[in-house]
Amino acid sequence: MQQQYSSDLYIPQDERRLRAIQRRGESVDRTVRDWSATVLEVLPKAIPLVKEELAIISLFLAQQRRLNLELDARNPESTLRERLGKLLPFLGDGSPDLDAVRAVHRIVSTRLESDIDRTCAQFCEAQGIPAVSDPVIDWRVAMRFMAQGLHRIASQIDLKKDYATSSKRFELALFAREAAADILQRRRSMFSAFQKTEAL
């Protein structure tokens, strides 16, 4: 029997189900990271971001993609098996195991958030800046905002097939330049704030 002790703790009913969840988690993780990397590859090359910022934006973008996949998995379109299941109960309705879906996405979400925190912390440590501070939070929020905007536009394009002919590529490039300029400003403000603090 499957056990679920709370809304935050999902225990698969057997080892096979556990391995299936782990495999699905690895698959989702690869899918969202590969997609976010593809988005970054088509951005203008001259945007004023350092490699650490691009890495963080890529992780935020992967997290946004993961969230959309989770929403799709929780609300799938009706399938033939589902419709038959209502008429012939012994077939099962083919609907997703929502507890398993949540478990898979919780694993991937936690991993992505951990990578975001670690990358931000490493950058701040290298610059001698406290990772938990208002200027750093503002800088981090600007990168999240850019990732959300990129996702909104890029998710409307088949990046592998249609990017070169899609009118959305101009919108994507324009948004990327504007958002990157804001991140640059936040980074400069962050450095300026702590240089003044250290000089006192």
Q: pLDDT tens-digit profile of 101-146?
A: 888 889 999 999 999 999 999 999 999 999 999 999 999 999 999 9
pLDDT of residue 179 exceeding 90: yes
C-alpha gyration radius of the chain: 21
Alpha-carbon distance 99 to 80, whole Å?
22
Higher pLDDT, 11 or 44: 44
Question: Quick check: 121 and 59 in contact, CB under 8 A?
Answer: no
Q: pTM here?
A: 0.80
- Continuous segment of H or E residues that includes residue 199: helix 168-199
